[in-house]
Amino acid sequence: MSNKKMIINAMNVHSGGGLTILRTLLDQTQSIDRIVFIDKRANTDFSDLPNAHFVSPTIFGRLFAEYKIFRLSRNTDFLFSLGNLPPLFRCKCIVYVYIHNIFLFDKTYLNTLNLNIKLRIWIETLWINFFFKTEYNAIVQTPSMKRLFEQKFDNKATVIPLSPSVAKIQSYRGKMKFDFIYISNNLAYKNHKNLLKGWMELAESGIFPSLALTISDDELRDFSKELLLDLGKLNIFCLGNLSHQATMNALKKSKCLIFPSLVESFGLPLIEAKKLNIPIIASEKDFVRDTVVPKETFDPLSSLSIKRAVTRFLKVNLSSYEEKNISTLFF
């Protein structure tokens, strides 16, 4: 029997896509002897997980857990740090750091984030710059993230996308409930504004496809006030913050995933739609082409481009171009 063990440091992960990736990692390493350090806020998701240590999300709690990892690790072990951050103390074991936050390397849309998130990213950027050692191994999700990482560090990065399995999700053969669905939280770079403007322009042309959003009714009303939307004319449904299973069920009942995000390190819904054979229309961005081949693409900064991509997918011809002679101005 091997003396090797795997130490998973996931104390920087407790929600969203990071939590989905953690579940995938745990599924793929069930046969390995492992110890897992998890953020205490995710306790309800992993309460029955063997050899799990739940870490308080405080400075003292995390410092103590970092020291415990240092003390537990041996030369024959390997440490997998999931939440972007290398270990605080230089461990004896082989270290893999899974980096999945694009804002650590690409600051283009950093100003779209609120102050608390920007402060956290600033701290994490300092952390990775100071504590990422030359002997550590970086793992990223896409070729674009690999390129960004290697532009900043001398280390090479390995591309291993940890995408969740959809094998347990049953196929849906009933009537489609939504024409389009956008699976995303309400951060500014997720670009709901231009998507909603595009839907308003579709309505102005007499086209009313249904759109499901995983935001709350209150968030949609805020957008409505800001953009002067006539929600009575728009065929939009707010699903709220769903569990992963409920999200996949909604995706299965949709004809198409629309994905207007401006920037992503991975874009999990793209992978999930691909695995479920759901057509995709998305931003013409590198992160999209890294993982899927969309049916249609658009300029995410142009609501008109979004409108045209939707009509192409729906096979609606909006062309009003007509050849005219300049002399018609005078007669």
| 18 shares its domain with 131 | yes
Same domain assignment for residues 275 and 187: yes
- 82 in the same domain as 114: yes
Q: Residues 100, 43: one domain?
A: yes
Based on the domain organization, do 123 and 215 belong to the same domain? no
The amino acid at residue 269 is: P
Note whether 114 and 52 are same-domain residues.
yes
Question: How many distinct structural domains can be found in the chain?
Answer: 2
| 143 located within any domain | yes
| Same-domain check for residues 94 and 36 | yes
- Per-block average pLDDT, block size 10, for the chain (331 residues)? 80 79 87 90 81 89 92 90 89 90 88 88 91 90 91 89 69 73 93 95 93 93 87 88 87 95 91 93 95 96 96 83 62 58
From 126, 159, 192, the end of a domain falls on 159
Predicted confidence at residue 193, as pLDDT, reads 94
Q: Does residue 169 belong to any structural domain of this protein? A: no
Question: Is residue 147 domain-shared with residue 275, that is, in the same domain?
Answer: no
Estimate to the nearest angstrom the gap between the alpha carbon of 216 and the chain centroid: 18
Q: Are residues 108 and 244 in the same domain?
A: no
Q: Which two tokens stand for residue 46?
A: 């992993």
- Report the 10 Å Cβ neighbour count for 125: 17
Q: Which domain holds residue 249?
A: 178-314
Domain-embedded: residue 33: yes
Residue 228 and residue 115 share a domain = no
Per-residue burial over 276-295, b if 16 or more Cβ lie within 10 Å, else e, is bebbbbbbebebbbbbbebe
CATH number at residue 208: 3.40.50.2000
In a domain, 57, yes or no: yes
Does the residue 321 lie in any domain?
Answer: no
Contact 131, 87 (CB under 8 A): yes
203 and 249 in a single domain? The answer is yes
Q: Are residues 29 and 151 in the same domain?
A: yes
